[in-house]
Amino acid sequence: MTNRKIGVLVSGRGSNLQAIIDKIRDEKLPIDISIVISDSPEAFALKRAREAGIPAMGILRQDCADKASFETAIDDALRGAGVELVVLAGFMRILSADFVNKWPQSIINIHPALLPAFKGLDAQGQALQYGVKIAGCTVHFVDAGMDSGPIILQKAVPVFDEDTHDTLAARILVQEHTILPEAVKLWSEGRLEVKGRKVRIRKA
């Protein structure tokens, strides 16, 4: 049986990428990370990928004539690697509707908030400013909207009075490292069924 293939888009440290690598290795999941792509040539995530023997490359926006050609380069690289699922693991660029529509229900994203609350940038800061008592993270399918696709998994964390942006972000990140690899596993097992806005998780 051929392993299912994913591609991971990253912009920074790649701790969520590492969590997926560890999950595949530790649980011997039949999944191959076929390619890791970053929009930053200095991203530590690329080093993580190469150390794990995963093909990794930078595709830089400034090297492309426009956003469309930038996204075409990413799309070509993903398809050339045989990718079936695109995982956004800290990818800090908004993908266009044209790109997303080429991958229907085949892109997932991790967002550091309990969607639909606190969409967009700095969700942790938004949560602190609003004064919520519970924050968290969400894995969702990506659609053409801003953090608006069907929700796959969520995990809540408490918000403490003494929290700073960094302490809350660190607490959320621990849970990101749990639910993003789990969502990839569920996808690989064919257990995710999307009906409208709802994602049903079939029993194993």
DSSP 8-state symbol, 12: S
Mean pLDDT, the chain, integer: 97
Q: In the structure, what pLDDT confidence band is assigned to residue 88 with cuts at 50, 70 and 90?
A: very high
Whole-number pLDDT of residue 201: 98
Q: Are the C-beta atoms of residues 48 and 14 closer than 8 Å to each other?
A: yes
Q: What percent of the chain has pLDDT over 90?
A: 98
Q: Are the C-beta atoms of residues 5 and 80 closer than 8 Å to each other?
A: no
Q: In the structure, what pLDDT confidence band is assigned to residue 122 with cuts at 50, 70 and 90?
A: very high
pTM: 0.96
pLDDT tens-digit readout, 139-158? 999 999 999 999 999 999 99
Whole-number pLDDT of residue 156: 98
- For residue 111, indicate whether it is catalytic: yes
Q: Is the pLDDT of residue 1 over 80?
A: no
Whole-number pLDDT of residue 146: 94
Instruction: Tell me the mean pLDDT in the region 165-186.
Output: 98
Q: Is the pLDDT of residue 46 over 90?
A: yes
Does the CA dihedral 158-124-117-109 come out positive or negative? Answer: negative
Whole-number pLDDT of residue 160: 98
DSSP 8-state symbol, 151: E
Query: Which one from 111, 140, 165, 177 is the annotated catalytic residue?
Result: 111
Q: Are the C-beta atoms of residues 140 and 115 closer than 8 Å to each other?
A: yes
Q: Are the C-beta atoms of residues 123 and 112 closer than 8 Å to each other?
A: yes
Q: Is the pLDDT of residue 137 over 70?
A: yes
Q: In the structure, what pLDDT confidence band is assigned to residue 15 with cuts at 50, 70 and 90?
A: very high
Instruction: Tell me the mean pLDDT in the region 35-63.
Output: 96
Instruction: Tell me the mean pLDDT in the region 122-128.
Output: 98
Question: What residue has token string 């995963």?
Answer: 54
Domains of the chain, start order: 1-103 (3.40.50.170), 109-204 (3.40.50.170)
